[in-house]
Amino acid sequence: MPTTGTSISAPQNYHSQWTTEVIQVLNSDPERGLSSTEVDKRQSEFGKNELKGKPGKPAWLRFVLQFNQALLYILLIAGLIKALLLQWTNAGVIWGVTLINAIIGFVQESKAEGAIAALAQAVTTEATVIRNGQKSRIPSQELVPGDIVLLTSGDKVPADLRLFNVRNLQVDESALTGESVPVEKSTADLRPDTPLAERVNMAYAGSFVTFGQGSGIVVAIANATEMGRISQSLEQTTSLSTPLTRKFDKFSHQLLYIILGLAAMTFAVGLGKGQTWPAMFEASVALAVSAIPEGLPAVVTVTMAIGVNRMAKRHAIIRKLPAVETLGGATVICSDKTGTLTENQMTVQGIYAGGQHFQVTGTGYNPQGEILFEQQPVDLQTGYFPALADCLMAGLLCTDSHLAKNSNGNWSVVGDPTECAIIIVANKAGWSQSEMTKLTPRIDGIPFESEFQYMATLHDNRDSESRIIYVKGSVEAITSRCEQMLNAEGELEPMADLELIEQRVVTILAKQGMRVLAFGKKIVSHGQNSVDHEDIASGLIFLGLQGMIDPPRPEVIAAVRACKTAGIQVKMITGDHITTAKAIAQQIGLEKDGQVQAFDGKQIAQMDNSQLAHAVEHGVVFARVAPEQKLRLVEALQSQGEIVAMTGDGVNDAPALRQADIGIAMGGAGTDVAREASDMLLTDDNFASIEAAVEEGRTVYQNLQKAIAFILPVNGGESMTILISALFARDLPILSLQVLWLNMVNSVAMTVPLAFEPKSDRVMKRPPRNPKEQLLSRTLFQRIAAVSIFNWILIFGMFEWVRQTIGDINIARTMAIQALVAGRIVYLLSISQLANVAARKIQGQAVSINDGRAMSVGILGTVLLQIIFSQWDVMNLLFKTAPLNLQQWLICLLPAIPMIPLAWFVNRIDPTN
Ligand code: ADP
Ligand code: MG
């Protein structure tokens, strides 16, 4: 028999070989899989199952690309002209500053990209394998050639597989072939020259199972897969571009043209007035560099990256960067119920079987508790409760889950909590799952899918003359297929009136918020080897119902309230029963205008688009919703102008997740398909984390607006100064080099801390931002204009005054700049949260030191830099500044005083906090 090594790694036409042949070549076993020792051996031989793409652009290239901005062209050319004029210091400083700017940009961009890439990698996919004869879930990276992998709908295919067992298996291979229609798979061997897209007996890494199940043997992993071959030729890139950054780009381009026009005009007018051309060149360059907010792009990147990090800390992983800003504008959150709004810790509390009601005691996933009938414990050994027994048996056998005892002796769920609750109640009656499965082995099954709302399994019957199908699912799905039912004596009776069951039983349980499942069975001939949807379309025997509680998550109640204050509607979209859903909605405070309006899937199906638009505005609960209907709901909400965040976990939720403005998938539960379609992933599956992400999204946007509100007035003030002075042929109060210092050094030191600003107390007390609102809103524009004018008066006034009193032009310029920065510090304090943080600290509230740290460091750094700027002789030489004496310093601080009422005033017209 061939061993591993050469034969495995050699390329093979696995699709043209018999499955048995492939399994033999790969030295595996379809039933038992590989042994642990064999896995270890192959892991060290083949490495991890990870795609390694071609490395992205080399660092040096990314660095050079930092200079690829119109503004930097201007600077580089300006430097060149200065050099031609033999003004070497000037040229050197201009080039030096552009270099520093590029370094800062490069470092920040790399950091942001790194952070985002790291998040994406933190999301690992898992695969179900058979090893050592046992089924287990492992991270996909640990797969080796020869592993036996089980696929089920919703899975991402983790490696290239040769399929040897399929069951209605359909795979979406669009990532590989571009063909969006899923391919139906089979196992037969094919001709060697079959093209990739037609190799129906293979499942390729990176494609998605959209339907059915199958099993296959891993024939290639990592870069040896077909996907790996493609990705080797693709560059790995992390895009930092979002709608907002694109808006910024557009904005700066427009600005640039205006500036260039103005600069040209200044140049011409000045020459006309008899100024020398080097003087006018200086003025034009100063104007151009003064008007452009050089520090802004860096701040945008940092702010976004920090937002992404903060969200990750609060269990929301951003998969697509634009979601960071969209989140802040969300107006509606549509959430799943089970597991997201509720704990997903089910406990069966009521059973209805054979016309009798039973109560169940005990909580959680431990088998302590009893089943009570008329207050008396039920003993299945002595008492005669055949319908109850059958109902419990169905629950024990018709399942894909089990309970496992972990090291500290607690029981934990492997699989679906709903199913585990049902297993536990059978345990309470004294039955063990493993024993019963041995007595009546499972032959085949249809796993649960939201679309069908039921699952079924086929078992050997104990009489060995027949086989038995057990089914469980939603009340409607099961009862509509039943023709007979068991009575208390275990005899068959015609099926009761469905409405009667619904009214009497379901409502009693569901009104308390219980999730109700129905159970049924069907006896079939011994020859039957598989179970299909048609087999259980009718003729079932109804066994009973089980109702289980699933308490709301306590933190969700507060999160829902927070959303409401923030003007965000919360809607529940669930596959569960309408009565159950309504009860839970009431418990978590979902009502709108004092009531919980609920619609179910049937009603939705009958509505036309305008009726639906009305329903989605007023309804808060949408129950028994089929996955396809989710898409309609999103579209209806969007047609009303809403920005929709929507959760989803199933295969069929993907279209709705894509359509939603923010598609949210679950990191814990949920399928790979849903995850791939999503913009954001919740690591704890918790609704409260969505609310947290919205809060952070709003903070990101707010901090960006603060940065704009902070940076632009300085550009405004500078350019007004230069424009006016140049046009009136006066000495420039500020030189182009000094402008560069202010815009690139001073602005960065003072603005980057804004990205770290903690969220304001009021961030969730305001309505969502209007998505159509311009980046530069009217009030923000007014604020910028007001502060710009102040800054102009400051620079111009200080310069002219010093020039006329002290007379030295260098001192005049230096003092004008220092006065500007002093006013700037006050202004920064007025828009930052520092004062609020300090106030909270004084009031004894818990504040994190991080909250104020960045801002304090930024301001201290600024002060230090400004002192160096004027007191150090090297700087005097480079930037034509002059050292100031104490009296002059104090004069520079004076303008900070009128800044206080101005800041107060602009904060009133345009609140930033
Ligand atoms: P949700 O997750 O929104 O509560 P689902 O689509 O998962 O809703 O479930 C819809 C209905 O299907 C449930 O109300 C329940 O009756 C039934 N159901 C849920 N899980 C299972 C399961 N594992 N097996 C059989 N039926 C189930
Ligand atoms: Mg569910």
For residue 513, the ligand closest to its alpha carbon is 1
More confident position, 459 or 91: 459
How many CA atoms lie less than 13 Å away from 580 in the CB half-sphere?
28
Backbone angles phi, psi at 472, to 5 degrees: -145, 155
Number of neighbours of residue 5 by Cβ within 10 angstroms: 12
Tokens coding 728:
């009136």
Instruction: Give kind and range of the element (H or E) at residue 411.
Output: strand 411-414
Q: How confident is the model at residue 6 (pLDDT cuts 50, 70, 90)?
A: very low
Cα-trace Rg, the chain? 35
Can you tell me the distance from the alpha carbon of 218 to that of 851, in angstroms, rounded to the nearest whole number?
50
Query: Residue whose CA is closest, atom 1 of ligand 1?
Result: 575
DSSP lists the bridge partners of residue 600 as: 623
Instruction: Decide: 517 in ligand 1 pocket, CB within 6 A.
Output: yes
Closest CA to 49 of 140, 134, 112, 133: 140
Ligand 1: atom nearest CA of 518 is 16
- If you average pLDDT over every residue of the chain, what do you get? 87
Residue type for 852, please?
G
Angle between helices 849-871 and 747-755 (to 10 degrees): 180
* 336 labelled catalytic: yes
Residue type for 885, please?
N
Instruction: Decide: 474 in ligand 1 pocket, CB within 6 A.
Output: yes
Query: pLDDT digit string (tens) for 629-657?
Result: 999 999 999 999 999 999 998 888 888 99
Task: Say yes or no to pLDDT of 68 above 80.
Answer: no
Instruction: Decide: 624 in ligand 1 pocket, CB within 6 A.
Output: no
Q: Which residue among 336, 535, 576, 851 is the active-site one?
A: 336
Task: Say yes or no to pLDDT of 570 above 70.
Answer: yes
Rounded to the nearest angstrom, the distance between the alpha carbon of 740 and the centre of ligand 1 is 63
For residue 634, with 0-12 CB atoms within 10 Å meaning exposed, 13-18 middle and 19 or more buried, which class applies? buried
Backbone angles phi, psi at 166, to 5 degrees: -135, 155
Query: pLDDT digit string (tens) for 238-260?
Result: 666 777 777 777 777 787 788 88
Instruction: Decide: 576 in ligand 1 pocket, CB within 6 A.
Output: yes
Query: pLDDT digit string (tens) for 474-510?
Result: 999 999 999 999 999 989 999 988 888 888 777 788 8
Instruction: Decide: 418 in ligand 1 pocket, CB within 6 A.
Output: yes
Q: Find the length of the chain.
A: 913
Task: Say yes or no to pLDDT of 374 above 50.
Answer: yes
Query: Residue whose CA is closest, atom 25 of ligand 1?
Result: 473
Query: pLDDT digit string (tens) for 763-813?
Result: 888 888 887 777 778 889 999 999 999 999 999 999 999 999 988 999 999
Q: For ligand 2, an ion, list residues with CB under 5 A.
A: 338
Angle between helices 747-755 and 296-313 (to 10 degrees): 20
Cα separations in angstroms, 785 against 83, 248, 524, 776, 791: 36, 19, 82, 12, 10
Closest CA to 721 of 734, 737, 712: 734
Cβ within 8 Å of residue 749, ≥6 positions away: 858, 861, 862, 865
Query: pLDDT digit string (tens) for 664-714?
Result: 999 877 888 888 889 999 989 999 999 999 999 999 988 888 888 998 899
pLDDT of residue 3: 42
**3-class SS of residue 375:** coil
pLDDT of residue 664: 95
Ligand 1: atom nearest CA of 580 is 14
Instruction: Decide: 454 in ligand 1 pocket, CB within 6 A.
Output: yes
